[in-house]
A and B are shown apart, each in its own frame.
Chain A
Amino acid sequence: MFADLRSSAFICDLIVMKDKIRIASGQGFWGDLLTAPIDQVSKGPIDYMMMDYLAEVTMSIMQKQKMKDPSLGYAKDLVPLMETILPTIMQKNISVITNGGGVNPEGCRDAIFRAARKLGIRGLKIGVVLGDTLLGRLDELASKNIELRNMESGEKLDQVRDRIVSANVYFGARPIVEALRQGAQIVITGRTTDTALTYAPMIYEFGWGWNDWNKLAVGVVAGHILECGGQATGGNFSADWKSVPDLAHIGFPIAEAYPNGEIIITKHEHTGGMVSVQTVSEQLMYEIGDPTNYITPECIADFTTIQLEQIGKDRVKLSGVKGKPNTEFYKVSMSYADGYTAVGTLTYAWPDALEKAKAADQILRTRLSDLGLKFDEIRTEFLGLNSCHGPIAPMPDVINEVVLRVGVRGHDRNAVERFGQEIAPLILTGPPAVTGFAGGRPKPSEVIAYWPSLIPKTAVEPKVHVESV
Chain B
Amino acid sequence: MKVLLIQLAHARSGDKGDTGNVGLIARRPDYYPIIRKYVTADAVKQHFAGICLGKVERFEMPNLSALNFLLHESLGGGGTVSLKNDAQGKTLSSALLRMEIEILEQLSLK
CA A418 to CA B63, docked complex, whole Å = 54
- The range of chain B's interface size is 35 or more
* Any B CB within 8 A of the CB of A373: no
What 0/1 pattern do residues 231 to 260 of A give for CB contact below 8 A with B? 100001011100000000000000000000
Using known A-B contacts A390-B50, A391-B50, determine if residue A285 contacts B94 with beta carbons closer than 8 Å: no
| CB–CB B23/A288 < 8 A | yes
Identify which of B10, B11, B64 contacts A308 (C-beta below 8 A).
B64
CB within 8 Å of A: which B64-102 residues: 64, 66, 68, 70, 76, 78-81, 83-86, 90-91, 93-95, 97-98
Instruction: Kindly specify which of A17-25, A98-106, A444-452 makes contact with the partner chain.
Output: A444-452
Chain A residues within an 8 Å CB radius of B64? 281, 284-285, 306, 308
Interface residues, chain B, CB within 8 Å of chain A?
10-12, 14-17, 21, 23-25, 27, 47-51, 59-64, 66, 68, 70, 76, 78-81, 83-86, 90-91, 93-95, 97-98
A363 interfacial contact with B, CB 8 Å: no
Please judge, given known A-B contacts A278-B25, A291-B61, whether A377 and B83 are in contact too, CB under 8 Å: yes
Residues of A near B16 (CB, < 8 A) are 287, 289
Q: Which of B23, B49, B95 has the most CB of A within 10 A?
A: B23
Partner of B83, one of A303, A388, A407: A407
Instruction: Label chain A's interface by main secondary structure.
Output: mixed
B62 in complex: contacting residue of A304, A409, A445, CB < 8 Å: A304
B66 — which chain A residues lie within 8 A by C-beta?
A: 281, 285
Cβ-closest chain A residue relative to B85: A387
Which listed residue, A320, A391, A447, touches B51 by the CB 8 Å rule? A391
Q: For A449, list chain B residues within 8 Å (CB).
A: 79-81
Q: Which residues of B contact A304 (CB under 8 A)?
A: 60-63
**Is the CB of A283 closer than 8 A to any CB of chain B?**
yes
Q: Are B23 and A284 in contact (CB under 8 A)?
A: yes
Given contacts A282-B25, A387-B86, contact A450 B78 (CB under 8 A): yes
- Across the interface, which residues of B come within 8 angstroms of A303, CB to CB? 61
Min distance, Cβ B74 to any Cβ of chain A, angstroms: 10
Check B98–A392 contact: CB distance below 8 A: yes
Pair count A-B, CB < 8 A: 126
Contact with B59, one of A231, A281, A290 (Cβ below 8 angstroms): A290
Q: Is the CB of B68 within 8 A of A281?
A: no
Choose one: A285, A392, A405, A452; the contact of B12 (CB below 8 Å).
A285
CB B67 to nearest CB in A, in angstroms, measures: 9
Interface size on A, residues (CB 8 A): 51
- Contact B25 A341, beta carbon cutoff 8 Å: no
User: Is there contact, CB below 8 Å, between A389 and B10?
Assistant: no
A286 with B23: CB separation less than 8 A: yes
What 1/0 mask marks residues of chain A from 47 to 78 whose CB sits below 8 Å from any chain B CB?
00000000011000000000000000000000
- Given known pairs A282-B23, A392-B95, the reply for A238 and B11 (CB within 8 Å) is yes
Instruction: Report A344 CB to chain B, min CB distance, Å.
Output: 11
A388-B95 contact in complex given A56-B79, A383-B85, A450-B17, C-beta closer than 8 Å: yes
A129 interface residue (CB < 8 Å to B): no
